[in-house]
């Protein structure tokens, strides 16, 4: 009898353990909650439409927490109705009023006019695609039936190229923080004017062939949101080789060629500058800067669509990864990239710098 009781107890325990493990977690409810938490970050500046969330995967970490991989997508339309509503533009305008030299005023005004035109034509009133890969952690102690309600923004991470970043860092900067780079940009212009012009000797007029909007369109056409490292049809233009796990620079080179930048003996499929970032000293970054086609910048406000975004390690050294900027409305920047695949994904948190063409084809003017 005693032995039978033992057996019944053991069976009961197995039964309850099985029931615990099998208790369903509503992954789609978790994804929807993550979507609402993330879109809320943008709602001060943007009207959000077409918001959707898709569960990619669900697993457990070593601690037994539930990890749900989610891709959220939505359209952002600036609430600003004119370029002057944007804090960055306001920062530029304030700095302009402090200039007295007619040449400086003229150069700063030209930069401001170009920024305003880019904003008015490409961003104000234009819905911008946004795709973000997220990782949601449901702590092991959370009641499974209540998981979606229990999680908040602190349970959500943005899946970056090199590392995960707290999703709350996706929130656009405060107005003050967006104004300050505007003032800094005008200072950069006047400082450059104080030194002898180097344009004639360093800038290569071949860059005037580069149509940055066409390059942007190619980047969007041949990228996706599934985070894949491997060859797949949506991201493999059959005219080119696809390098599994290592296609980032090959992809950016294709964007530049489609934008009209002519190949030459050094930069063509599949030379080192075509397919590597340049950590070994002979990559796309060195090719573009040494040939006077693109300049290096750490100011993300300068990096308009068609610029290259370059990932850095935390110590500032190059991480060996590049993508193409496809949106920059001065509040949010997004990029497209390969391996892993990203399309119109906001940049946030991760350390990066930029390579920007000397010629702004959209404005039909030099950028420096
Ligand atoms: Zn893809």
Would residue 68 count as lying in a domain? yes
- Residue 324 pLDDT: 98
- Residue 23 pLDDT: 67
Q: How far is the CA of 157 from the centre of ligand 1 (A)?
A: 21
What whole-number distance in Å separates Cα of residue 248 and Cα of residue 267? 15
Q: How far is the CA of 339 from the centre of ligand 1 (A)?
A: 8
Enter the pTM of the model.
Answer: 0.91
Does one domain contain both 223 and 327? yes
What whole-number distance in Å separates Cα of residue 290 and Cα of residue 88? 31
What whole-number distance in Å separates Cα of residue 6 and Cα of residue 48? 59
Q: CA torsion 153→343→125→156, rounded to 10°?
A: 0
Does one domain contain both 47 and 148? yes
What whole-number distance in Å separates Cα of residue 129 and Cα of residue 73? 7
Domain boundary among 107, 136, 159: 159
Does one domain contain both 268 and 315? yes
Q: Which residues contact 238 (CB under 8 A, 6 or more apart)?
A: none
Domain boundary among 144, 159, 174: 159
According to DSSP, residue 226 is labeled S
Q: How far is the CA of 235 from the centre of ligand 1 (A)?
A: 5
- Residue 15 pLDDT: 40
Query: Number of structural domains, the chain?
Result: 2
Q: How far is the CA of 341 from the centre of ligand 1 (A)?
A: 5
Q: How far is the CA of 56 from the centre of ligand 1 (A)?
A: 14
Q: How far is the CA of 119 from the centre of ligand 1 (A)?
A: 28
Q: How far is the CA of 227 from the centre of ligand 1 (A)?
A: 7
What whole-number distance in Å separates Cα of residue 208 and Cα of residue 165? 37
Q: How far is the CA of 115 from the centre of ligand 1 (A)?
A: 31
What whole-number distance in Å separates Cα of residue 150 and Cα of residue 273? 49
As a residue count, the chain comes to 368
What whole-number distance in Å separates Cα of residue 146 and Cα of residue 30? 10
How does pLDDT run along the chain (368 residues), one tens digit per residue? 444 444 444 444 444 444 445 467 899 999 999 999 999 999 999 999 999 999 999 999 999 999 999 999 999 999 999 999 999 999 999 999 999 999 999 999 999 999 999 999 999 999 999 999 999 999 988 888 889 999 999 999 999 998 999 999 999 999 999 999 998 889 888 887 777 655 556 899 999 999 999 999 999 999 999 888 999 999 999 999 999 999 999 999 999 999 999 999 999 999 999 999 998 899 999 999 999 999 999 989 889 999 999 999 999 999 999 999 999 999 999 999 999 999 999 998 899 999 999 999 998 888 87
Q: How far is the CA of 324 from the centre of ligand 1 (A)?
A: 14
Does one domain contain both 52 and 155? yes
Does one domain contain both 149 and 201? no
Q: How far is the CA of 224 from the centre of ligand 1 (A)?
A: 4
Q: How far is the CA of 183 from the centre of ligand 1 (A)?
A: 38
Does one domain contain both 27 and 155? yes
Would residue 51 count as lying in a domain? yes
Cis previous bond, 357, omega within 30: no
CATH number, domain with residue 352: 3.90.1720.10
Q: How far is the CA of 247 from the centre of ligand 1 (A)?
A: 11
Q: How far is the CA of 108 from the centre of ligand 1 (A)?
A: 40
Q: How far is the CA of 212 from the centre of ligand 1 (A)?
A: 21
Q: How far is the CA of 336 from the centre of ligand 1 (A)?
A: 10
Nearest to 255 by CA among 215, 285, 287: 215
What whole-number distance in Å separates Cα of residue 50 and Cα of residue 45? 16
Does one domain contain both 248 and 139? no
Would residue 114 count as lying in a domain? no
Domain hosting 31: range is: 23-81+125-159
Does one domain contain both 254 and 140? no
Q: How far is the CA of 100 from the centre of ligand 1 (A)?
A: 50
Domain boundary among 107, 133, 159: 159
Taking a C-beta distance cutoff of 8 angstroms, is the pair 186, 94 a contact? no
Does one domain contain both 202 and 153? no
Does one domain contain both 27 and 154? yes
Q: Which residues contact 102 (CB under 8 A, 6 or more apart)?
A: none
Would residue 155 count as lying in a domain? yes
- Residue 199 pLDDT: 55
Q: How far is the CA of 231 from the centre of ligand 1 (A)?
A: 8
Would residue 145 count as lying in a domain? yes
Nearest to 135 by CA among 56, 73, 64, 62: 56
Q: How far is the CA of 233 from the centre of ligand 1 (A)?
A: 8
Does one domain contain both 334 and 279? yes
For 336, list phi and psi in degrees, rounded to 5. -120, 145
For 10, list phi and psi in degrees, rounded to 5. -60, -45
Q: How far is the CA of 249 from the centre of ligand 1 (A)?
A: 14
- Residue 269 pLDDT: 98
Q: How far is the CA of 62 from the centre of ligand 1 (A)?
A: 29
Would residue 175 count as lying in a domain? no
Taking a C-beta distance cutoff of 8 angstroms, is the pair 186, 108 a contact? yes
Q: How far is the CA of 1 from the centre of ligand 1 (A)?
A: 63
Does one domain contain both 65 and 154? yes
Would residue 148 count as lying in a domain? yes
Would residue 29 count as lying in a domain? yes
Q: How far is the CA of 160 from the centre of ligand 1 (A)?
A: 15
Q: CA torsion 313→344→306→309, rounded to 10°?
A: 0
């Amino acid at each position: 009898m005693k032995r039978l009781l033992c057996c019944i107890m053991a069976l009961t325990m197995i039964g309850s353990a099985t029931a615990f493990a099998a208790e369903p977690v509503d992954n789609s409810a978790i994804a929807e909650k993550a979507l609402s938490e993330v879109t809320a970050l943008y709602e001060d500046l943007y009207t959000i439409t077409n918001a959707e969330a898709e569960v990619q995967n669900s697993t457990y970490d070593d601690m037994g927490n539930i990890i749900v991989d989610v891709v959220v997508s939505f359209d952002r339309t600036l609430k600003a109705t004119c370029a002057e509503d944007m804090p960055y533009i306001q920062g530029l305008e304030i700095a302009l009023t402090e200039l007295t030299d007619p040449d400086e005023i003229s150069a700063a005004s030209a930069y401001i006019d170009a920024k305003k035109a880019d904003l008015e034509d490409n961003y104000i009133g234009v819905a911008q695609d946004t795709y973000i890969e997220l990782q949601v952690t449901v702590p092991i102690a959370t009641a499974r039936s209540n998981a979606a309600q229990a999680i908040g923004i602190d349970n959500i991470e943005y899946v970056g190229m090199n590392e995960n970043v707290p999703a709350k860092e996706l929130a656009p900067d405060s107005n003050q923080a967006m104004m300050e780079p505007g003032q800094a940009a005008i200072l950069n212009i006047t400082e450059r004017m104080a030194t002898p012009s180097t344009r004639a000797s360093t800038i290569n007029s071949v860059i005037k062939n580069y149509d940055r909007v066409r390059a942007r369109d190619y980047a969007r056409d041949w990228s996706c949101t599934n985070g894949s490292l491997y060859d797949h049809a949506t991201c493999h233009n059959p005219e080119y080789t696809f390098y599994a796990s290592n296609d980032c620079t090959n992809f950016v080179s294709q964007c530049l060629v489609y934008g009209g930048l002519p190949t030459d003996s050094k930069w063509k499929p599949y030379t080192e500058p075509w397919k590597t970032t340049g950590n070994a000293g002979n990559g796309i970054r060195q090719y573009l800067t040494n040939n006077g086609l693109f300049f290096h910048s750490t100011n993300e406000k300068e990096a308009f669509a068609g610029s290259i975004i370059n990932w850095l390690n935390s110590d500032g050294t190059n991480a060996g990864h590049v993508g193409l900027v496809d949106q920059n409305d001065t509040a949010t920047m997004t990029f497209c990239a390969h391996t892993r695949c990203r399309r119109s994904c906001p940049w946030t948190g991760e350390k990066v710098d930029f390579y920007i063409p000397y010629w702004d084809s959209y404005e039909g003017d030099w950028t420096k």
